[in-house]
Structure 1
Amino acid sequence: MRIVVIGATGHVGGYLIPRLVGAGHEVLAMSRGLRSPYRQDPAWQQVVRITADREAEDAAGTFVGRIADLKADVVVDMVCFTAESARQLVEPLRRSGTTLLSCGSIWVHGPAVEVPVTEDAARHSLGSYGIGKAAIEAVLHDESRNRGLRSVVLHPGHISGPGWPVINPAGNLDLGVWQQLAAGERVTLANFGLETVHHVHADDVAQAFALALDPPPSAIGESFHITSPRALTLRGFAEAAARWFGKEANLEFVPFEQFRQLTAAGHADVSFEHISRSPSMSIAKAAQILGYEPRYTSLQAVAEAVHWLRDAGQLVLTPGAGSH
């Protein structure tokens, strides 16, 4: 297949591009600049690199023409953030019969009524990001179900892996939480630590996109959760992570407003975004229709990321910590 990947050098692209090249596809990797991908691989020498400022070209009405001129069998859109941006792609891709795979987010769901959350559960979207992704999803579903567009939407969880910080047991990106766990120091969690986070390794997200390249009819116009098999409670996450460093977690639980006062403002806001949703998603639909089988549990995905942070010198641990 001839495959265009928009936003190719991001977290998922570092795994997706080698998968596509390894499967024998012709790959055109589009990104805003020519910066190095998060994950180096010889496969990058076999792709065509294309630069594009999508936001500017969307505003000028030229981006869709550039995509159409590439005459792809599949367009993988990793960086669509508005319904209008998605809408611009629809007409030319429908005419050409090109399959559009769009990267959404489990943030289209807000607080759950029942868990694990299924794709057709009642929505209570929160925040501009989740609401925007839900609007994109609605556009693509309408076009696929009523007007013949071949599109599939994949909703990843908290994308994790080596090369960048990942969501920690406090529900934020504060590297100090890992340092405290490694040192056996007290870590403060909001409420009773029973809220949840749901990670997914970037390579498992790449796996899902690769599986959807030639989607069965039952996948067209549908959405799929792409996460690890199970979510983590914050408390269980902290206890497991402390054991990576040969420690027992020393945890303190406080009401969220007190947690906010004890936590840097930016980190507290990120924690609120995560634990107010407490995602716990079902991947049964993706398994049944796409054949999705995640290789990584949540803990395995995060452990790989934390070990990378330590080895890269971004996470300074106490002597002897992090050897487990």
Structure 2
Amino acid sequence: MSRVIVIGATGHVGTYLVPALVEAGHEVVAISRGMSDPYTPHAAWGHAERLTMDRDARERAGTFGQDIRSLKPDIVIDMICFTKPSAEMLVDALKGHVGHFLHTGTIWTHGTPVAVPTPEDAPKHPFGDYGIQKADIETYLLKTAHCEGFPATVLHPGHIVGPGWNPLNPQGNFNPEVFSILARGEQLPLANFGLETVHHVHAEDVARLFLAALSSRASAIGESFHAVSEKALTLRGYAERMSRWFGRDPVLTFLPYDQWAADRPAEDAKATWEHIARSPNCSMEKAKRLLGFVPRYTSLQAVEEAVTWLIEQGKVAPPSRAG
């Protein structure tokens, strides 16, 4: 049995990861900033040790890495590292003291794709602070693994979906009203021709991939892996399929992005641009080949589960077939 520290344990992926680790027989220490509950309750949380820790404050004090090391982990899973200095502080403290270190990256490290589906080793040209910082962390961790023997693995999730939060919608933003528009059979405007892509992943599949990496440590160390469903969706195809899931015929219109954005809330327009400008479409072949991992959920299955939760919460109109 390994002692596993999960940093950022009550987030989207941690909600599934902590119970899975407990059920696999690990001793789990779940660290979060506060005592917030996971998105989905599970009895296994009662068998995990819960600790609160303000990472930002401890990093400013220069103690965070040593604080984690003092917990005597065999394995550390870092869900919430966003800068290279933050990664360096933790790694410097853990060198020689952990058997496996797993970092949560993002498919945005790729920037704009060239050939799709994109493999992990494709040349990367990230843009935007988030993608650039995450790419810097990946480069640092893999170099440290290859040159110094630090046992690092990087997982790059796509757009994480699950019950309990708003999924990325067919316009490429997070406004749940888009699903209600489709449920009512009303006209939904999309930017451009709706042929840009988004690539979802169910949070449970990301958690499963972490466990697959732990189970295949020799193959996982020094490597990065995408964590997405097996196929990306075009926004148009996504809207059409969700319309039919709601029992409606799709009614879509298309406008150049600038015209489309002019009638949207600024937050939605910005989120859509961030997603369509990247249009990710990532390969899962490497995880299958090296780790024997295949996602359980398609993009649409993951979204449908999330939208079902939104319907149950009264945040999205129910399908017409339900009434």
Could you say which TM-score interval applies, normalised by the shorter chain?
over 0.9
* 2-structure distance, mates of 1:39, 1:85: 29
* 2-structure distance, mates of 1:165, 1:310: 11
- SS of 2:322's equivalent in the other structure is coil
Indicate yes or no: 2:81 matched with 1:80. yes
Indicate yes or no: 2:230 matched with 1:229. yes
* 2-structure distance, mates of 1:63, 1:50: 14
Q: Which moved more, 1:60-69 or 1:149-158?
A: 60-69
* 1-structure distance, mates of 2:291, 2:223: 11
- SS of 2:214's equivalent in the other structure is coil
Counterparts of residues 167-316 of structure 1 (less than 5 Å): 167-315=168-316
- SS of 2:320's equivalent in the other structure is coil
Deviation at 1:81? 0.6
Deviation at 1:310? 0.6
Q: Which residue of 2 aligns with 1:323?
A: 322
* 2-structure distance, mates of 1:67, 1:216: 21
* 2-structure distance, mates of 1:223, 1:311: 37
- What residue identity is the alignment partner of 1:190? A
Maintained 8 Å contact 1:93/1:99: no
* 1-structure distance, mates of 2:187, 2:129: 34
- SS of 2:171's equivalent in the other structure is coil
TM-score by length of 2: 0.97
- What residue identity is the alignment partner of 1:323? A
Counterparts of residues 109-128 of structure 1 (less than 5 Å): 109-128=110-129
Indicate yes or no: 2:54 matched with 1:53. yes
* 2-structure distance, mates of 1:24, 1:221: 25
Q: Which residue of 2 aligns with 1:66?
A: 67
Q: Which runs of 5+ in 2 are unaligned?
A: none
Matched residues, number: 322
Q: Which moved more, 1:216-225 or 1:173-182?
A: 216-225
State the Cα deviation string for residues 64-85 of structure 1 (Å, max 9, x = none): 1111111111000000011001
Maintained 8 Å contact 1:200/1:226: yes
- What residue identity is the alignment partner of 2:12? H
State the Cα deviation string for residues 203-262 of structure 1 (Å, max 9, x = none): 000000111124443321111001000000011000000011110110001111111112
- What residue identity is the alignment partner of 2:286? K
Deviation at 1:23? 0.8
- SS of 1:230's equivalent in the other structure is coil
- What residue identity is the alignment partner of 1:132? Q
Q: Which residue of 1 aligns with 2:105?
A: 104
**Quick one: percent identity of the two aligned structures?**
52
* 2-structure distance, mates of 1:260, 1:97: 48
Q: Which residue of 2 aligns with 1:23?
A: 24
- What residue identity is the alignment partner of 1:204? D
Maintained 8 Å contact 1:182/1:322: no
* 2-structure distance, mates of 1:260, 1:125: 24
- SS of 2:282's equivalent in the other structure is coil
* 2-structure distance, mates of 1:219, 1:176: 40
